[in-house]
A and B are shown apart, each in its own frame.
Chain A
Amino acid sequence: DQQVKQNSPSLSVQEGRISILNCDYTNSMFDYFLWYKKYPAEGPTFLISISSIKDKNEDGRFTVFLNKSAKHLSLHIVPSQPGDSAVYFCAARDGGATNKLIFGTGTLLAVQP
């Protein structure tokens, strides 16, 4: 049973527009959420994170929103650039001391020039 779900396998956006990637989770004990970006033939690279005590975290063009009541988080990229084209993974920590992460299946973002 998938505890972290990314229901959109792919997303295509025009350069300069906003990209919104979505993630849903089922476990209310998750306390820390992360987004990773992955280029082909490379490992996932940490992008941005948010603690469950917050509802928004911003870093440059990237903003993560957390809606705990809906068990939903989203990543906004504004403005989108062709170099943002990659697979984006949502991950959640299960609240234990081990820092164990549960990953979604990823969303492939294509930013069209």
Chain B
Amino acid sequence: DAMVIQNPRYQVTQFGKPVTLSCSQTLNHNVMYWYQQKSSQAPKLLFHYYDKDFNNEADTPDNFQSRRPNTSFCFLDIRSPGLGDAAMYLCATSTSTYNQPQHFGDGTRLSIL
């Protein structure tokens, strides 16, 4: 089945220690998104790639960066995680066709020690 896969499902890192979360997709979608979701809050878009074009949300902290080496993979890098970065990180994909939904992975739960 075509899907969006996030690894790892659970990630623990130390305060200030860089961490990378990964996302892969077999849907061949040209748009990939990263969301942050904190407890009892709405998922919040951090950035997205439209093909190779990177689009950062205005309020995404500089601490967060992303890479998309090819259509199938996208990475979220947190350079110096703080306690406030503990959250669920969701990857999603979509086509650029009008009125098509985004498809989500199961997320990575990030904990900061």
Seen from chain A, the residues whose Cβ lies within 8 Å of a Cβ on chain B are: 2, 4, 9, 32, 34, 36, 41-46, 49, 51, 89, 97-106
Contacts and interface: CB of A to CB of B under 8 A. Distances in A.
Contact of A105 (B4, B40, B105): B40
Interface residues of B, number: 25
B99 A46 contact: no
A89 to B, nearest CB: 7
A42 B101 contact: no
Interface string B33-48: 0000000111111001
A99 B98 CA distance: 8
Which of A41, A43, A44, A51: most chain B Cβ within 10 A? A43
A106 B101 contact: no
A46 B102 contact: yes
Contacts of B31: 98-99
Given A34-B101, A101-B102, A43 B94 contact: no
B63 interface: no
Given A43-B4, A43-B107, A99-B96, A104 B102 contact: no
Interface of B: 4, 6, 31, 40-45, 48, 50, 55, 90, 92, 94, 96, 99-107
A2 B42 CA distance: 9
B104 A51 contact: no
B42 A51 contact: no
A99 B101 CA distance: 9
Contacts of B106: 41-43
Nearest to A35: B101
Contact of B43 (A42, A46, A49, A89): A89
Most B CB contacts (10 A, CB to CB) among A49, A97, A99, A102 go to: A99
